[in-house]
Structure 1
Amino acid sequence: MGQPDITEIAAGLKDWDFLNKLPQELNGFSLQPSSGIKGQILNIASYVNESMRCRLDLTYTCETFDFVPLKTVGLHVYREERLFYRDRDKFAQLVLEQLPRLLHELDRAQKHSMNYEARSIGFEGWEYWHSLPKRIGNYELFITPDNPLAYLNGSYIFLDYTDFGHQNQIYFAYNIYRNEIFAEFKQRGIPITTTMFDVPGNVKDERKLDMLAQLIDAHLAKALQDLEKS
């Protein structure tokens, strides 16, 4: 038997009792109804906190025929790796069970931390970032090391400068599996890779953040200026 068409999934939303069980408000997030189909994605429902620039979209994708939550924090948009399900009822059951956790992970008013693998790097005692300006031109300091964002594939975003008006961004992340620090740009919302701020895994842990600080001092201002060029 083939997979159901995305339009069939959309048509079935009106009879899905799961949607009636979702709370209207939870942890500062407000429930919004389906926004329909966009490309290969059906938006089933969303929880949104506009003041924090965070949202959780419950989606179905015909790319992989899965139901999956989609997380957004600022310009970071990524799928919840632990909740891919083709079975609609199983997806509904687990979303209802884990909704408080999912929203807590997005809630920037709550404090978050990295896994124990990152302790040897010394993020908790890194004073340098406090000297960074809260704004650089159109960019605002959105994510800081005292409240990192658990991202994809073992990475934690710990610094993020974003120009939300133009969707330009630089973010810095630490990957617990590769034991390395790296950065990535977005220009008009399009990701751009860079090695400009790389701190490889073979650098001693106690030296990693000092090396990063030197790279930020040398390159950050110009990198942000360059992103503004079309």
Structure 2
Amino acid sequence: MKKVLGSFLILAFQLSFAQSVRNVGSFNSLKVYNKLNITLIPSNENKVETETEDAEVETINKNGELKIKLSPAKILQGGTISVKVYYQKINDIQASQGSSITSTDEMETSMLSLTSNEGSKIDMNVDAEKLNVKTNSGGEVKISGKADNQDIVVNSGGKYYGKNAVSKNTSVTANAGGFAEVYVKDSVKATTRAGGIIDIYGDPDDRKVKNVIGGKINFK
């Protein structure tokens, strides 16, 4: 019995030591680095919860821009560390250096900007009046839900999966091997350059398309 109790106390101590919760103050912009896995959770307070030692993950809030990254000593451990970000309001999200960002709930906002760089991934459900998306260097963004107006730019092998995000009006550009799929009900302006590919769903009446140095625009 004593051995069981002792083992339980050791386990409880390890769990409490491994978890870290910190208040990060008000922010509306989030930038994530170093292959961290981020889960966004709507809340009435702004805080960050990690399942690792406090010193391993750095949080820096400067003028409402929250940066989350690994400490220099732990920079090679990305991909195995999960972080929960509790937020009140966000309108700008950027994932870099192979990080991933997902959300537990639909994000309702008037304007949202998403950027995915260097093989990072963003996967979210949104209800937005205006959605801006940019992907670079193999970054991916996957969106479901609704965005009345979209401005999408995919560069250098970046990808945008937006077939399940219904929009009224969309401007979409695919450059240098980038790929984008969009769902548009009313008006679309699509441009491809240097091998970009765009798939358009929804059969919009107003169509403006332009191919520069190759690329494909497909109406599905």
State the TM-score, normalized to the length of structure 1: 0.29
Larger RCO (alpha carbons 8 Å, 6+ apart): 2
State the TM-score, normalized to the length of structure 2: 0.29
Give the strand-richer structure, 1 or 2.
2
